Structure 1
């Protein structure tokens, strides 16, 4: 049986941007870069080189300063170095979601402990932009409809890497409605639990961040119990 890494690496490193996006929406595909392909190989080879099923933690679609640069979900260049031990030459980038996620990773016991149980991913695997700014696949109906077949295939393909179908963790309250719709159609997961999106927490609820961090950790431990 191939390992999680042996399936994830070729998937990411051969991703192709969709050709059917609305004319003012663009997808960023970092996986064409040899430096990103090396990071993908090192990251998955380090943390996913086994056949253990992971609990999927699903965001919306990547930000241009996180996975849009490194190819690793919710992971900026600096957090890739600091928390994952993977050196890279990319310049440091600001990404609120990555800041919070890696506080969660550390609180859970570090990258090896976290990634040994969870797979961070998104409903759509590539960063989207509009007018040079981050864009969500659900921000307009035309984009959602154009990407829905790709979203379905993204999740269908990734669960084959090795997943725990008992539960999935959804990041984002609005994202939840789309994941539930997808799950109603496809029956990927038995149960979905939802947490507030990291970007929302750091953008609007900074004062309450310790409470949200505790909520994340409690929920994650409940998922693996």
Structure 2
């Protein structure tokens, strides 16, 4: 099976975590027919091969990015303007998606980038509480409830074909959790931290070009 076939099979059967803390809801876009069509278009376009890829591991999808379109770090605007995939989603921008596609273009554009890299997250499904995005680590009880789920879902994705070195998109709680998880389960040989795209866009926008260069330098070292 190609990378695309494995990914599409995975998302069509993705598990939904159970027994979550009260008030926590799961973002599950994959039962939407438009999302399904877009996933097929995107992954068959960029992942129609069997080449191993470097995993870039975010926190969990947000409402206006992967939680909406089904494609990690890709909001409806980037979906149309950068990937030329028409869609009828509410064209709300996501800060992380803006940074990611500037970085992708610096590396050589979507075709070059997606041939070598695969976006996922610690939790492949996102969460909301009281209508707001929720990170898996924001509530200790949520993080604890998710651990077995997180490990199982990551192992399923590793079967697509993963290189030994992965990157954490997040230098604080995300990399700390990933390193603990990796020490127990030996998922990767090494996980390298990178500053989270949203943090860059929200707090270090004046240094945007510097961070794009940091990503580009570190990621291109993994390209064969």
- Which TM-score applies when normalising by structure 1? 0.96
The answer for the alignment partner of 1:171 in structure 2 is 169
Asked if 1 retains the 8 angstrom alpha-carbon contact of 2:76 and 2:93, the reply is: no
Where in structure 2 are the equivalents of 1:131-170 lying within 5 Å?
131-165=130-164, 167-170=165-168
Q: Tell me the distance in 1 between the aligned counterparts of 2:151 and 2:80.
A: 32
Number of residues of Structure 1 aligned to a counterpart in Structure 2: 223
Partner residue, 2:80: 81
| Contact 1:8–1:161, Cα closer than 8 Å, also in 2 | yes
1:205 to 2:207 alignment: no
Question: How far off is 1:81 after superposition?
Answer: 1.2
Cα distance between partner residues in 1 of 2:106 and 2:8: 27
Deviation of 1:221 (Å): 1.2
Question: How much does 1:10 deviate?
Answer: 1.5
Post-superposition shift, 1:215?
A: 0.5
Q: Could you tell me how far apart the structure 2 residues matched to 1:96 and 1:127 are?
A: 16
Q: How does 1:1-225 map to 2 (within 5 A)?
A: 2-165=1-164, 167-173=165-171, 174-224=173-223
TM-score (norm 2): 0.97
SS at the partner of 1:26? strand
C-alpha distance after superposition, 1:29-61 (max 9, x if no partner): 000111111111111111011100000000010
State how far apart, in whole Å, the 2-side matches of 1:15 and 1:168 are: 22
CA distance in 2, matches of 1:104, 1:137: 25
Residue pair 2:8, 2:43 contacting (<8 A) in 1 also:
yes
Which segments of 5 or more consecutive residues in structure 1 lack a partner in the other structure?
Answer: none
SS across alignment from 1:100: helix
Query: Shift of residue 17 of structure 1?
Result: 2.5
The whole-number CA distance in structure 2 between the counterparts of 1:24 and 1:89 is: 29
Q: Which runs of 5+ in 2 are unaligned?
A: none
Aligned-pair CA distance for 1:140: 1.4
Stretch of structure 1 that moved more, 199-208 or 12-21: 12-21
Structure 2 Cα separation of the partners of residues 186 and 19 of structure 1 = 22
Q: Compute the RMSD of aligned alpha carbons.
A: 1.0
- Between the aligned partners of 2:222 and 2:50, the Cα distance in structure 1 is 19
The SS at the match of 2:82 is helix
- The answer to whether the Cα contact below 8 Å between 2:73 and 2:97 also exists between their aligned partners in 1 is yes
Contact 1:17–1:28 under 8 Å retained in 2:
no
Shift of 1:154: 1.5
User: Secondary structure of the equivalent of 1:116?
Assistant: helix
Q: 3-state DSSP class of the match of 1:200?
A: helix
Measure how far apart 1:15 and its partner are.
Answer: 2.2
- Name the CA distance, whole Å, in 2 between partners of 1:98 and 1:32: 22
